Amino acid sequence: KGRIGILTAGGDCAGLNAVIAAAVNYGSRLGYEFVGFRRGFEGVLSPMAFQILTHADVRGISHLGGSFLHTTNRGRFGGKKGAGDSNQIPEEILEEARHNLASINVDGLIVIGGDGSLSAALQLAERGVRVIGVPKTIDNDLAATDQTFGFSTALGVAVDALDRVHTTATSHDRVLFVEVMGRHTGWIALKAGLAGGADAILVPEFPFDIDDLVRFLRDRKAEGKGSAVIVVAEGAVVDGKRSYEAGSASEVRFAGVTNRIMHLVEQLAPDEFEMRATVVGHIQRGGTPNARDRNLARAYGVGAIDALERGEDQVMVSLHGQEIITVPMAEAVSRLKAVGQDTLEYSTARKLGVFVH
Ligand code: F6P
């Protein structure tokens, strides 16, 4: 019927294997043949790294974290789209990928990725490769779908971290920061913060001044609350500065927005607060996908094959209510979904006295 390539690109997240398994399982039943590329688009470039995938190869992997095909958010296809980064792939790289896919008779490519990887895939599509995208990111910031897979599991991990630090915060009268992922948007921080009873939620969409945070902490102390739990999205903007710059995740990893916040608080209020930080980090992306992510991933895998069956091209599968639909990929990569004043969790948190700014 045709040979379909499949790859996972960008950072890993829970549910990648469930997408692969569902697509290969369903597609094989319909008569497609599958080729899995290793390490995202790197596997499509020379030297090519791929393997034929049969239904037997993908049995029993859906509950496993990571990507059994491996992935990367670096490499010659870029993949990481930071603010101001257009993620333009050099012409010769696109041509090499197109040529390599044609040389092994790939009729269509399923790309499982976030906005950066999908915008890279779109450039390949514009050069004649048939592409179907599957929305993946723990950040849940793609506007063209109700939910990306990987988000729900990440959220659960973040809530668990918050639940756990509460006891130390209270017992020691400390200010405990919990840093979660979210470079450009604060969905994990906001939803986990509200669910996990955070006293302050710091998201990239709502820049804040350190003076206001210190005032908030002092007011709490004056009311007899010596402890506070604060959830920080790694892209939080403090005193007009964003720690995260496009393409330099290492800056965040090595310096950390939370460290900066703690230093600033200490400068302004020396010895007033006993602060500690927990960076949840890649625990949010790794490990077993929860039921919601597994089922969403499976539905996306099946949806990608249905899209191929309908003869679609340059589309991304998308969750719309209870349905999987497809949206033009160009639309899908052009709009990020950000936390706003009208976001339910935001207004709820605000009314409950949480410092959300
Ligand atoms: O885009 C997904 C994401 O998990 C972001 O939330 C985070 O900033 C980034 O990836 C981390 O990337 P890396 O694994 O390269 O540190």
pLDDT tens track for 246-272? 445 555 555 689 999 999 999 999 999
pLDDT at 220 over 50: yes
Percentage of residues in the chain having pLDDT higher than 70 = 94
pLDDT at 342 over 50: yes
**CA-284 nearest atom, ligand 1:** 4
Q: Whose Cα sits closest to atom 13 in ligand 1?
A: 249
Cα of 82 from ligand 1 centre, angstroms: 11
pLDDT at 243 over 90: no
**CA-154 nearest atom, ligand 1:** 4
What 3-state DSSP class applies to 176?
strand
Quick one: pLDDT at residue 35? 98
- H or E element at residue 33: strand 32-37
Quick one: pLDDT at residue 85? 56
Quick one: pLDDT at residue 143? 94
Sign of CA dihedral 211, 216, 218, 222: positive
* Residues in the ligand 1 pocket, defined by CB under 6 Å: 11, 73, 114, 137-139, 181-183, 234, 249, 253, 285
Helices (H), ranges, the chain: 16-29, 91-103, 115-125, 151-172, 187-195, 210-222, 249-254, 257-268, 291-309, 329-334, 344-351
Residue 104 neighbours by CB distance under 10 Å: 12
The span from the CA of 292 to the CA of 45, in Å, is: 34
Each residue's pLDDT tens digit, 148-161: 999 999 999 999 99
Assign 78 a pLDDT band (cuts: 50, 70, 90). Answer: confident
The mean pLDDT value for 142-153 works out to 97
